[in-house]
Amino acid sequence: MRNEIFENQDQPQFTQATMAKTFMSNVFSYMTVALVISGIAAYMFGSSDLIFMLYTETGMSIFGWIVMLAPLGLVFLLGAKAQKLSHTTVLGIFVLFAVLIGMSLSSIFVVYTMSSIATTFMVTAGTFGVMAVLGYTTNTDLTKFGSILKMALIGLIIAMVVNWFMQSAMMDYVISGIGVLVFTGLTAYDTQKLKQIGSVVDANSEEGKKASIMGALNLYLDFINLFMFLLRFLGSRD
């Protein structure tokens, strides 16, 4: 009788842990698929004449600007309308987003060597994996830490805009270093936040599926930004 009481007391915690595990499994599955899609799109455009659809002799083409700016619009669309859209629509927008990001990153195959891109990807995957595990397993509340990182991210974006006009190589390296730290930390923070969401939502419900896609979007952006900032340090130019 006593054992049955303890088992009943442990049941809610067990259920929450199972829900979180299922939810996070979906999140990482969506994220992985998105990274594969982006990688294929980037390679297809970066290693063929398709790259000239994005760039001309004088700079970026009109189509290139559309490809670069469209993902920002899709992020705003998902942020504002995801709750009103169906799971299938949200997934379709996410796939389109991954394709466009891949296309916009295709220039790295022109600028950097394939070996350095592969090395940077592996370093990024290892760093991301460690921080994701840390965020998932730690009992420390990362909320305050996340607030600081979000403020740092705003400062980072402002610095990038300023340096876009200044074109300072030194400032570019400083920004890249800060960017690595910010997105390394955000990986742990976002993972913990998503674990908390997953513990209270049914991953197989319509809302749960949409939440897992939105979570995958957050971690996807963490990974891509971490990769791009690390590439400034580890990338070897042709």
**Can you give the residue ranges of every domain in the chain?**
2-234
Phi, psi of 97 (to 5 degrees): -60, -45
**Per-residue pLDDT tens over the stretch 47-82:** 888 888 888 777 888 998 999 999 999 999 998 888
Q: How confident is the model at residue 38 (pLDDT cuts 50, 70, 90)?
A: very high
Distance, C-alpha 210 to centroid of its chain? 16
The whole-angstrom separation of Cα 230 and Cα 95 is 25
Q: What angle do CA 94, 95, 100 make, to 5 degrees?
A: 95
Average pLDDT, the chain: 90
Residue with tokens 């559309």: 66
pTM of the model: 0.89
**Per-residue pLDDT tens over the stretch 122-178:** 999 999 999 999 999 999 999 888 889 999 999 999 999 998 888 888 999 999 999
pLDDT given at position 5: 41
Could you tell me the two tokens for 169? Answer: 């190589």
- For the segment 187-205, the average pLDDT, to the nearest whole number, is 93
Contact between 229 and 127 under an 8 Å Cβ cutoff? The reply is no
